[in-house]
Each structure stands twice: as structure tokens, then as C-alpha cells.
Amino acid sequence: MKWLDISMPMHKTMQVYKNRDANRFRLTADRTHAQDHICENRMEINLHTGTHLDAPLHVIDGGNTISTFPLDLSQLPCQVLDLSGLRGSIKVKDLDLKAIRPGGAVLLKTDNSLTDAFDPDYVFLSIEGAAALADTGVRLVGTDALGIERGQPGHPTHRALMTRGVWILEGLRLAHTVAGTGWTLHVLPLNIVGAEASPVRAVLSRDDE
């Protein structure tokens, strides 16, 4: 079995959305071995920092929270689409829709994965591309950007997926991931009551070839 971690490492200099200071990851010592003979740290994090899962509440008033994430989606057959070299938005013509199986996950591998710094011109999913993916019956779409869209008023890409029951996984690291089928995606959010998102550890697995 081959295992591949596709999550962002969490640290104080990691990339954050639009380089907002409020989104910075912070780890502060509450107790130390030197003073207390034990180590305990406090973590401060925006729920959309690093690799994270969005719940409908993120963009839909009254939408489902992250604690409603169906556990049967924590392990899904997964296809990685290689969109390397693409700039701007991912359009319908860029997606291999015929190869996408209903009921699984699709991960969008782009040049976003090639940098550890935030790029304001990151590759994002168009509204039409999101609607087309939802039409395939896919249950989760993942991207290697910290946002699946880029500044569209009203967040229509999120809505095109979420109103169809498709969950959104953002902030993946896919540079070393081989495109194609045969992968299984493993992902679990924290059970944070009332929250619109959660950090996750996202991992891919597949049988050795």
C-alpha cells in the first residue's frame, strides 16, 4: 500500500490566504519542561488556514455545519486531475468529465502546489467548472489553493458545489501526486459544533503497482 500525505505542514511562516495576519498559525507554550516539567501548547488558528474542509455554512446562511460531515465521505475513491501549466480559472474544457465516477472525490492539481508562498493570482475553479463537476455526481472536490474561487462576489463557485451536496477541500499539496484514478482519499474534520470549517489531515492511498 502506498500512502501520501497531501496536507500543508502547520507552522508560523506557512502561507495564509491573502497574507492576512489574522490567519497566521500561532503555537504558544502554556507550560514548559524547564518551568513545569511538562510540555503544553496553545494553538491559535483560523479555520480556513492550511488544509481544511469547508461546510455549507461558510457561504450559505443557515447551512450545515462541519459537525454534519458524513462519515462515509471520510474515505472515498479519488481521481487526481493534472491541470499543471493552466493559468486563471479551470473551465469545463479543462476537466476530464468523462473519466469522473459518481460518488467519489476529485482533486485539482495545479501549479498552486509548486509554491509555499501565497500567490494572489492562484488558479481557481470557474462557476461553470464547479457546476459541471457537481453534475457528475462527485461528492467532494479538492483544490491546491487556499480558496476554490478567487474573489467572485457572492461566492458562486462554492455555491454551485455546496447547493448540490458537494463538500469542498482546500489547501492541498499535490506536487508529488501522480494524476489519475486508483487513489483513495482519507479525510476527517474535527467535530467542532457550530463551525463552518475545520482543519484536516488529508491523505491519499493506493495499492502498490
Q: Residue 146: give its domain's CATH number.
A: 3.50.30.50
Residue 154 lies in a domain: yes
Task: Please give the pLDDT value at position 209.
Answer: 58
Stated as kind and residue range, the H or E segment containing 30 is strand 26-31
Residue 65 lies in a domain: yes
Question: Domain limits at 183?
Answer: 2-8+47-206
Task: Please give the pLDDT value at position 94.
Answer: 96
Q: Which of 52, 58, 155, 158 is catalytic?
A: 58
Residue 170 lies in a domain: yes
Residue 187 lies in a domain: yes
- Helices (H) and strands (E) counted in the chain, each on its own, are 3, 13
Reduced to 3 states (helix: H, G, I; strand: E, B; else coil), residue 131 is: helix
- Calculate the dihedral angle through the C-alpha atoms of 72, 185, 192, 64, rounding to the nearest 10 degrees: -60
Residue 201 lies in a domain: yes
Q: How far apart are CA 84 and CA 14, in angstroms?
A: 22
Residue 95 lies in a domain: yes
Residue 61 phi/psi, 5-degree rounding, is: -60, 125
Buried b (16+ CB within 10 A) or exposed e, 82-110: bbeeeeebbeeebbebeebeeebbbbbbb
Number of domains comprising the chain: 1
| Residue 176 appears among annotated catalytic residues | no
Q: What is the mean pLDDT of each run of 10 residues along the chain (209 residues)?
A: 96 96 96 96 97 98 97 97 96 92 96 96 98 97 98 96 98 96 96 98 89
Residue 174 lies in a domain: yes
Residue 25 lies in a domain: no
